[in-house]
Amino acid sequence: MIRNTAIKVLKSTFSIIVMMVLSLSAFANNGFDHSLSKQQAAQDLSFYFKLIDEQHGNPYAYISRAEFKQLVDANINSLPENISYQHFSNLVIELNQKLRCGHTAVSIDTQILKTATEKSDFFPYPVSIIDNEVYIDFEGGTLPLGSKIVSINGIPSQQLLKELTALTVTDGFIETKKYREVEQKFGYYFFLKYGASAEFNVISNLNGKTNTIAVQGIPGNQMMANNYMRPVYQTNERYIHFTHVDAIDSLQTLVLTLNTFQASPEWFFQKIYDQYSAASKGAGVNNLVLDLRNNEGGDRRLLNFLYKMIAGTDLVDPSSTSTRSLKITHEDQLRGINGAVGSEEVVANAEQYLEKHFSENAKGEFVNDTQNWHEEFELGFDLKDMKFEGQVYVLTSGKTFSAAADFARILGQLDNVILVGEETGGANAGRTANMLLNYSLPNSALMVQVPVISETFQNKGNRNEIGRGVFPDFAVKKTYADLINKQDAVFNFTLGLIAHKPNLVASTSLGQ
């Protein structure tokens, strides 16, 4: 949460994903299975632990230091004389998940990306995970929409789910984010775990009939594009824009879709103001649907004017914040801070920020006395004509993360707000984020993102299980019928609430 410094907001999640995919393709072309020596791998693992142990704001919230150190040492001791790059990448990524911190990530070095590859390596189709089964969520391919995957290249679907979700990161014990991550980037995670394959041998089942078919691999950029052409997305333009406003006149309802908070406040405000103000002046608008299901967070300053637009008052969200160090170390391997290149100036600004806001207490901890961070987020926008007076419905999913999960938690405490969907991917009680350091491991060039500032929220809502997300008032799960009929279960349920249809009953499952 660095403000008024030269440090910039993170790049968009989609851009990062594309860069990761293309970087992986570059490795495939150059030999993704090239090896590291035991000494090189051990050095990288030791350095990874040092980064977490020294720079992470709260690394041992869910695992003790002794337990984590033991895991690192066990991995070092079991290293073979030579280890393939792919095997080592998976090893570090799976080790990193033990921290249960959604902002602590290990990924392929995106700087390897020089030119996009045309090599056909990736499983082509997006999937939906429903009741722990994997289904094809794409039309026009060699596998029909709704086909249940039994196995790919001999790997059973249940093993696939277990091994691919092990490569994701999530806050605490939240499972929804893991499944949504694999859904959105199934081809990427398959590549990361099992390597390239020009052809995929798929056993599937549709309507009780089992089929075996060879599916051709496609380039990484086409694989990602397919994820944005799922059947529901083809009929809902709002999913492919950063922000979008729809009006449903028959229900006197506006639908405001916010797919990211990773934007400058000025641009974001103007985008919202231009669309929302014009639409909200229509006669008889009584309901606002705020769709955060694809929003993975970003700049928390954006929450200020959005909150004022809905609540009519300034945002007050007190929290206790701390950090474990006021210094940015290992500058020789530092690649960036919050998206800005890790120059001497950027490092100096970051350290100045930490020294200004955090001071050492009697326990040797570095804490911030400021309880409401949002007091510093005055943006100077005129919001008097944007206040919404009606009922608000907030849609959430496992992809609702970081600042977006914060916003769902905050809005959920208002009397005129109803949350619909599934448990958010961002923790309800607190998290470590806000200042993100990006390091490169010296031998493998794996990128490690390390969050610096730990935050514990004081207003946690009615349900504040440690290590869980924000729970909706109505938990709605996608069904196989929704997939086949190309229906948006959460959105349709919400419209049913607005229309006061008494026969709609939400699932009470808190799992995927």
In terms of Cα–Cα distance, which of 29, 25, 104, 118 is closest to 63? 104
Question: Which 3-state string (H, E, C) describes 83-123?
Answer: EEHHHHHHHHHHHHHCCCCCCCEEECCHHHCCCCCCCCCEC
The residue that leads in pLDDT, 71 or 383, is: 71
User: Once rounded to an integer, what is the mean pLDDT over residues 371-383?
Assistant: 72
With tokens 């495939």, the residue in question is 28
Contact criterion met (CB below 8 Å) for 60 and 7:
no
- Give dist(CA 441, CA 445) in Å, integer: 5
For β-strands 334-337 and 430-440, DSSP reports them as antiparallel
Contact criterion met (CB below 8 Å) for 267 and 299:
no
pLDDT on residue 224? 85
- Give dist(CA 504, CA 438) in Å, integer: 46
For β-strands 391-396 and 417-421, DSSP reports them as parallel
- Statement: residue 137 has pLDDT above 90: yes
pLDDT on residue 389? 83
- Statement: residue 218 has pLDDT above 70: yes
- Give dist(CA 265, CA 383) in Å, integer: 14
- Statement: residue 239 has pLDDT above 80: no
pLDDT on residue 95? 97
When pLDDT is cut at 50, 70 and 90, the band that residue 9 belongs to is: very low
Q: Is 138 exposed, middle or buried (0-12, 13-18, 19+ CB in 10 A)?
A: buried
pLDDT on residue 483? 96
Query: Which of 199-213, 339-353, 374-388, 495-509 shows the highest mean pLDDT?
Result: 199-213
pLDDT on residue 136? 97
When pLDDT is cut at 50, 70 and 90, the band that residue 147 belongs to is: very high
pLDDT on residue 283? 54
pLDDT averaged over the chain?
Answer: 85
The residue that leads in pLDDT, 200 or 308, is: 200
The pTM assigned to this predicted structure is: 0.88
pLDDT on residue 270? 80
Share of the chain above pLDDT 90, in %: 59
- Statement: residue 268 has pLDDT above 90: no
- Statement: residue 8 has pLDDT above 90: no
- Give dist(CA 380, CA 120) in Å, integer: 50
- For 72, the 3-state DSSP assignment is helix
- Give dist(CA 222, CA 237) in Å, integer: 20
When pLDDT is cut at 50, 70 and 90, the band that residue 21 belongs to is: very low
Query: Which of 66-70, 334-338, 385-389 shows the highest mean pLDDT?
Result: 66-70
In terms of Cα–Cα distance, which of 444, 509, 460, 430 is closest to 32? 444
User: Once rounded to an integer, what is the mean pLDDT over residues 204-230?
Assistant: 91
Q: Which helix (H) or strand (E) holds 234?
A: helix 231-234
- Give dist(CA 166, CA 177) in Å, integer: 12
**Number of residues that this document lists for the chain:** 512
User: Once rounded to an integer, what is the mean pLDDT over residues 391-405?
Assistant: 96
- Statement: residue 459 has pLDDT above 80: yes
With tokens 């405001």, the residue in question is 256
- For 421, the 3-state DSSP assignment is strand
Query: Which of 82-96, 274-288, 295-309, 463-477 shows the highest mean pLDDT?
Result: 82-96
Q: Which amino acid is at 146?
A: G
The residue that leads in pLDDT, 399 or 390, is: 399
In terms of Cα–Cα distance, which of 24, 65, 70, 43 is closest to 217? 24
For β-strands 474-475 and 417-421, DSSP reports them as parallel
The residue that leads in pLDDT, 268 or 478, is: 478
pLDDT on residue 461? 66
Q: What is the pLDDT of residues 477-504, one digit of tens each?
A: 999 999 999 999 999 999 999 998 544 4
- Where do runs of H (alpha helix) occur along 9-150? 13-30, 38-55, 65-77, 85-97
Q: Which amino acid is at 255?
A: V
pLDDT on residue 462? 65
C-alpha separations of 254 from 186, 246, 430, 502 in Å: 33, 6, 31, 22
pLDDT on residue 54? 95
Instruction: Name residues whose C-beta falls within 8 Å of residue 235's C-beta, 6 or more positions apart in sequence.
Output: 486
Q: What is the pLDDT of residues 300-309, one digit of tens each?
A: 888 988 898 8
